[in-house]
Amino acid sequence: METSKLKKFAQYARRTLMEQVSSKLKLVLEPDSAARRENDKAVADLEKQIRAFSEEQVVEKIAYVWFNRFCALRYMDVNRFNPVGVLSPIPGQFQPEILAEAKMGVMDATMIPDKIQKKVAGLLNGSISSGNAQNEAYRLLIGAVCNYYNKTMPFLFQKIADYTELLMPDNLLSGNSILSYTREALYPEVCDSGTLF
């Protein structure tokens, strides 16, 4: 199997994720950031990690964590290990299946805790205001799925620290997002070949 496309994707994804995590870090660490208002403990934990290691090492670690998770979730989607596509849309659609189902009020209670379900529903029905409700809801769904898989695959889905979730890249639903490139690079034949894991 030709792996040069995968190698290029991995290099591109690493660079892109590091840039996105770094940009997000700057926003989160601003003195009056929404993250500080809504989750001061997570920001304090993040600052503690930066003091213990360095900003560059924290950014690299978190970019690596999200790269691994996004690739694993795509692999699991293609092979139907996930009950619904977490990164992948159903054929003929553009939105990830998990978000499309959430918009219809369907969320898997075993994967998505009740508290997250309520927040996602509130974002999607407009009862919770947001600058980008669908992106925020989708980020919550991804975080919940990753935490769910921590029980069975802790080596890949370590429990997400709150600060790690704060630094998840934005705009995951756009056509030029890291997830879009992940779906393109990890097409079904690649995932079926056993090349990834």
Compute the distance between CA of residue 148 and CA of residue 112 in angstroms, rounded to an integer. Answer: 8
Burial class (CB in 10 A: 0-12, 13-18, 19+), 178: buried
Distance CA 133, CA 137 (A): 6
Q: How far apart are CA 193 and CA 159, in angstroms?
A: 29
Between the CA atoms of 82, 87, 185 and 64, what dihedral angle is there, to the nearest 10 degrees? Answer: -90
Q: Which of these, 108, 131, 123, lies nearest to 27 by C-alpha position?
A: 131
Mean pLDDT, residues 68-79: 95
Residue 73 and residue 183: Cα distance in Å, rounded? 10
Range with the poorest average pLDDT among 49-53, 78-82, 125-129, 155-159: 155-159
159 has pLDDT over 80: no
CA distances from 93 to 75, 97, 102, 103 (A): 19, 8, 15, 14
Q: Check pLDDT > 80 for residue 41.
A: yes
What is the percent of the chain where pLDDT is above 70?
95
Residue 193 confidence (pLDDT): 53
Average pLDDT, rounded, for the chain: 91
3-class secondary-structure state, position 52: helix
Whole-number pLDDT of residue 168: 93
* Beta strand segments in the chain, E: none
Q: What pTM did the predictor assign?
A: 0.91
